[in-house]
Structure 1
Amino acid sequence: MIAIEGLSKNFTTANNRITAVDDLTLDIREGDIFGVIGYSGAGKSTFVRLLNRLEEPSDGKVVIDNQEITALNADDLRVTRQEIGMIFQHFNLLWSRTVKDNIAFPLEIAGVPKRERESRVQELIDLVGLDGREQAYPSQLSGGQKQRVGIARALANKPKVLLCDEATSALDPETTNAILDLLVGINKRLGLTIIIITHEMHVIRKICKQVAVMEAGKIVEQGDVLDVFLRPKQQVTKKFVEQVMGTDDEDDGVDDLAHTYDRGKIIRLHFVGETANQALISQVAKTFNIDINILQGKITRMQHGAYGTLFVQMDGAPDEMDRALRYITDETSVEVEVVRDVE
């Protein structure tokens, strides 16, 4: 669907030359919700603006649905942009226009007849949950409602791709979750390819299927969201995962707690995907003649499965504990690590 090859963007100042996006190559599948995450200054916002040529690339090419965006002249680009919707962190609404007129604006620019325009606007108002707010002005709306207007406006011309540049960064957590749920629903209903630019791992965890991590203008890590959570390779990725799953300090707390037990084993169980939904602890306790105490853990839901770690203390006859551990290792996809073994 989207093929990006050798994409670069350089800015020249009076004193030096800044490379905001550095030789970036990436493929995004049709219908995916693809996340690009990075800290401020990583180049992610410049990257997303290169996709529809709000910024002109210094080098490289972007192909969307077999059309090379970077090769289009100004007139063809204007038409093609109608197939690429975009929503922004600060909404970018027309403050002198009502909700209805804001959504209608891109349809007016595209020359859509009035009757068809009005029908499409009402359809979008219903889609994003703004029924009854058609005549309100942006100043009369909450942050979440403003972003719903922005989403509806971006969908007005029935785009194939939706670009979201920090679309939830100005919203509170509850509103953020509501907007993310709306985007997931739009993706499923319309089959729209969505690219999410963010610095929040919560956003990636909640709705994305694939993720790319940017640092200093480059993609330093990418892959399935579950895989990246499970085995982050780069230090910047590990920091993002810690936003959701906590830090190594929590493991230290488990170690302190573990020293209150003078026998048995301290086990770390690592859950990935649908195994997080299994009643593993009760199943093992019923099957084997052992005692299991849960010390600490955290499991978080993602768009396609779950990810988490559970620390337990296991006590019983050594051979029975070994049988239980072999069962977990051989019969499930849960990863097992013996943290401490007290004989």
Structure 2
Amino acid sequence: MITIKGLSKVFQSRDHQVKAVDNLDLTIEKGEIFGVIGYSGAGKSTFIRLLNRLEEPSGGQVTIENQEITGLSKKALRLTRQEIGMIFQHFHLLWSRTVKDNIAFPLEIAGMPKEERHARVQELIELVGLSGRENAYPSQLSGGQKQRVGIARALANNPKVLLCDEATSALDPETTDSILDLLVDINKKLGLTIILITHEMHVIRKICHRVAVMEDGKVVEQGDVLDVFLHPEKPVTRKFVDQVMGDTEQAHSLELIHQNYASGKILKLHFVGENTNQALITELARNFTVDINILHGKITQTQKGAYGTLIVHVTGDSEETDRAIAYIKETSVEVEVNPNA
């Protein structure tokens, strides 16, 4: 478990102070993939660098498995950092070294014997899917392959925690998905705790169990990813959810329907988990004398299950429409009735 209490970082310029991280509290469970999302300037990259003291905190505590990182001497910190792997947006590889030599570098620093080092490197090359590329140099690799080298190198000393600072931001969408799949595989195989910093909700949606949303150095919202998708509370969180669920298109559909139809009601339905397979619209059409026009819909997958939204326009006798809405509310599908309809 990772416990963060009152963590702060203040940068002092000649004229003023900047609070990059402001009295932040978080608890991250052992073995989970925890996402931290925020726009540029939110403080998320500073936050992750405070966890292994690449940045020295101005205040607060970071405790990883009962060891307080913020209280360690420099000598003790060097040893502890072997248990905290880190991967970066721009890879940070040694360009004069081959793939296997890049991966071996932290093992050399740790003083591992050559034979053991070679065996460990081969194990890691297979784990990250780089077999056959052992002798290639970084300049001969694609972006995804470079990041796989970075991941293997970060795992070399069998860390307890893997920190990922915008690890997929420099990659194309297809390569991003392959790297995210690799991180999920590593999490399951090794039971590794992964803390992932990003500004892309797609990344959070695809692999994270829980998420914290940062704004102006503070955590403004946190929870299970699926819960955050279902009930975003803060404006910044709703913007991130919109990245994945396409609420811009939904809003446009609602605007058009209001312009063209004076009667009926607009319903926004939320389907979770197995409910995404429910034939609700068919049941409504069979059981109630209403007409249903589907305006917009989307289903996306999270680590905790599927989440879908569907916007429909329902017309018919007012009493019958109300009965249909009441029927929906009796199911586990959430329904919002548009107040302007």
Match of 1:88 in 2: 88
- Which residue number corresponds to residue 71 of structure 1? 71
Q: Does 1:135 align with 2:135?
A: yes
Q: What amino acid sits opposite 1:311 in the alignment?
A: I
Q: By how many angstroms is 1:137 displaced?
A: 0.5
Q: Secondary structure at the match of 1:130?
A: coil
After TM superposition, give the deviation of residue 322 of structure 1 in Å.
3.1
Between the aligned partners of 2:263 and 2:239, the Cα distance in structure 1 is 34
Deviation at 1:145, TM superposition (A): 0.5
Question: Does 1:60 pair with 2:60?
Answer: yes
1:277 aligned residue: 277
Whole-angstrom distance in 1 between the partners of 2:19 and 2:321: 56
CA distance in 1, matches of 2:229, 2:117: 44
Pairwise CA distance, 1:71:
1.2
C-alpha distance in structure 2 between counterparts of 1:195 and 1:26, whole Å: 12
- State the number of aligned residues: 341
Stretches of structure 1 that go unaligned for 5 or more consecutive residues are none
Contact 1:93 1:138 in 2 (8 A): yes
Q: CA deviation at 1:306?
A: 3.0
Amino-acid identity (%): 69
Query: Who is 2:225 aligned against?
Result: 225
SS of equivalent to 1:213? strand
CA contact (8 A) 2:91 2:150 kept: yes
Asked if the contact 1:329/1:336 (under 8 Å) is kept, the reply is: no
Aligned-pair distance for 1:130? Answer: 0.8
Instruction: Output aligned runs, 1:1-343, within 5 Å.
Output: 1-248=1-248, 250-257=250-257, 259-261=259-261, 264-338=264-338
Shift of 1:8: 1.1
Query: Following TM superposition, by how much is the alpha carbon of 1:340 offset from its aligned partner in structure 2, in angstroms?
Result: 6.2
Whole-angstrom distance in 1 between the partners of 2:53 and 2:221: 24
What secondary structure sits across from 1:70 in the alignment?
helix
Could you list the per-position Cα deviations for residues 266-301 of structure 1 after superposition, in whole angstroms to 9, with x for gaps in the alignment?
Answer: 322123444223232223334445443212122322
Distance in 1 separating the partners of 2:290 and 2:235: 39
Could you tell which deviates more after superposition, 314-323 or 205-214? 314-323
Whole-angstrom CA distance in 1 between matches of 2:253 and 2:283 = 27
Q: TM-score, normalised by structure 2?
A: 0.93
Unpaired segments ≥5 residues, structure 2:
none
In the aligned structure 2, how far is the partner of 1:123 from the partner of 1:116?
Answer: 11
After superposing the two structures, state which structure 1 stretch, 87-96 or 330-339, moved more: 330-339
The Cα shift of 1:154 comes to 0.7
| Counterpart Cα distance in 2 of 1:285 and 1:190 | 49
Query: d(CA) in 2 for partners of 1:190 and 1:177?
Result: 20
Cα pair 2:250 2:311 within 8 Å, conserved: no
Cα 1:78–1:270 shift into 2, 3 Å: same
Distance (whole Å) between structure 2 residues aligned to residue 150 and residue 36 of structure 1 = 20
CA contact (8 A) 1:212 1:222 kept: yes
Q: Offset at 1:186?
A: 1.1
